[in-house]
């Protein structure tokens, strides 16, 4: 068993890790789209829906936020396999669970953005007799998106780094590729996990820096 860094092993395992990285990106794209759109829908429903609708949704989101992602992934995977459709792929199930999990967080960021809009904006829309849909799409949502974009993007970055959790249901991403290689060759852990970590860093750090700059810029903006 190799106990130190080995360039040959690193060269051999890198294509596998890179293939797993593309899987991570695909999961992030699908789950991120779900998190962004579902989170927005939940935030709007939480603002305009009657109490009998809001309370169950709020309770479900609280449940999602306060239970471990891994437990949710395993529960939905086995429930889906047993009671709905055993042919559904781990990629699809994992992406949906990840997206719903983070929608519970993005919805809070959207909600904060909505509540930060001055009351005068709502009153002006009412005074102009704007229909509800125009009030939302021309007055509220553009301002809310500016206020919430950075926070939502940070949640997507966090979600990106949690994709390896889906290894538990068979999604073969970077960490799973390293584990498979290690299981077959009894070596490669140091090289594989280092390469995986560097790819995560290379993908997430530039985005995090841009989001920090965006947050600073928006903090100086006045609406």
Contacts of 127 (CB under 8 A, 6+ apart): none
Q: Give the model's confidence band at 218: pLDDT under 50 very low, under 70 low, under 90 confident, else very high.
A: low
What pLDDT, on a 0 to 100 scale, did the predictor assign at position 142? 85
Long-range contacts of 133-141 (CB under 8 A, 24+ apart): 136/44, 140/114
More confident residue, 44 or 221: 44
Straight-line distance from the first to the last Cα atom of the chain, in angstroms, rounded to the nearest whole number: 62
Other CB atoms within 10 A of residue 67 CB: 12
- How far apart are alpha carbons 208 and 63 in whole angstroms? 28
Confidence of residue 203 (pLDDT cuts 50, 70, 90): confident
pLDDT of residue 165: 92
Q: Tell me the three-class secondary structure of the chain, residue by residue.
A: CCCCCCHHHHHHHHHHHHHHHHHHHHHHHHHHHHHHHHHHHHHHHHHHCCHHHHHHHHHHHHHHHCCCHHHHHHHHHHHHHHHCCCCCCHHHHHHHHHHHHHHHHHHHHHHHHHHCCCHHHHHHHHHCCCCHHHHHHHHHHHHHHHHHHHHHHHHHHHHHHHHHHHHHHCCCCHHHHHHHHHHHHCCCHHHHHHHHHHHHHHHHHHHHHHHHHHHHHHHCCCC
Domains of the chain with CATH codes? 7-219 (1.10.3720.10)
| pLDDT, position 3 | 60
Q: Say if residue 223's pLDDT is above 50.
A: no
Where is average pLDDT lowest: 33-42, 88-97, 184-193? 184-193
Residue 5: what pLDDT?
Answer: 80
CA dihedral 94, 98, 99, 103 (to 10 degrees): 160
pLDDT at 73: 95
CA distance 169 to 86: 13
Model pLDDT for residues 145-166, shown as the tens digit of each residue: 888 888 898 899 999 989 989 9
Say what the pLDDT of residue 2 is. Answer: 54
| Core vs surface per residue 38-61: b (16+ CB within 10 A) or e | bbbebbbebeeeeeeeeeeeeeeb
Tell me what pLDDT residue 79 has. Answer: 93
Q: What is the pLDDT of residues 98-135, one digit of tens each?
A: 999 999 999 999 999 898 888 888 888 888 877 877 88
Lowest mean pLDDT among 43-52, 63-72, 140-149, 210-219: 210-219
Query: What is the C-alpha separation between 116 and 192, in angstroms, rounded?
Result: 45
State pTM to two decimals: 0.86
pLDDT at 177: 85
pLDDT band at 65 (very low <50, low <70, confident <90, very high): very high
Is residue 174 predicted with pLDDT exceeding 70? yes
5-61 pLDDT, tens digit per residue, is 888 888 889 998 888 899 999 999 999 999 999 999 999 998 888 888 889 998 999
Q: Are 156 and 28 in contact (CB under 8 A)?
A: yes
């Amino acid at each position: 068993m190799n106990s130190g860094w080995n360039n040959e092993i690193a060269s051999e395992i890198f294509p596998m890790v890179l293939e797993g990285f593309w899987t991570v990106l695909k999961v992030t794209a699908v789950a991120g789209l779900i998190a962004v759109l579902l989170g927005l829908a939940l935030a709007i429903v939480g603002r305009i829906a009657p109490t009998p609708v809001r309370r169950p949704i709020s309770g479900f989101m609280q449940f999602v936020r306060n239970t471990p992602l891994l437990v949710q992934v395993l529960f939905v995977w086995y429930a889906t396999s047993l009671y709905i459709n055993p042919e559904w792929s781990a990629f699809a199930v994992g992406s949906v669970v990840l997206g719903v999990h983070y929608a519970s967080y993005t919805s809070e960021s959207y909600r904060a953005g909505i509540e930060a809009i001055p009351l005068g904006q709502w009153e002006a829309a009412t005074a102009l007799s704007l229909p509800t849909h125009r009030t939302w799409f021309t007055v509220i949502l553009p301002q809310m998106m500016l206020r919430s974009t950075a926070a939502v993007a940070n949640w997507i970055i966090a979600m990106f780094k949690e994709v390896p959790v889906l290894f538990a249901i068979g999604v073969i991403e970077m960490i799973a590729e390293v584990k498979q290689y290690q299981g077959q060759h009894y070596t490669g852990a140091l090289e594989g996990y280092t390469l995986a970590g560097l790819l995560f860093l290379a993908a997430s750090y530039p985005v995090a820096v841009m989001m920090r700059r965006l947050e600073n810029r928006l903090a100086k903006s006045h609406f």
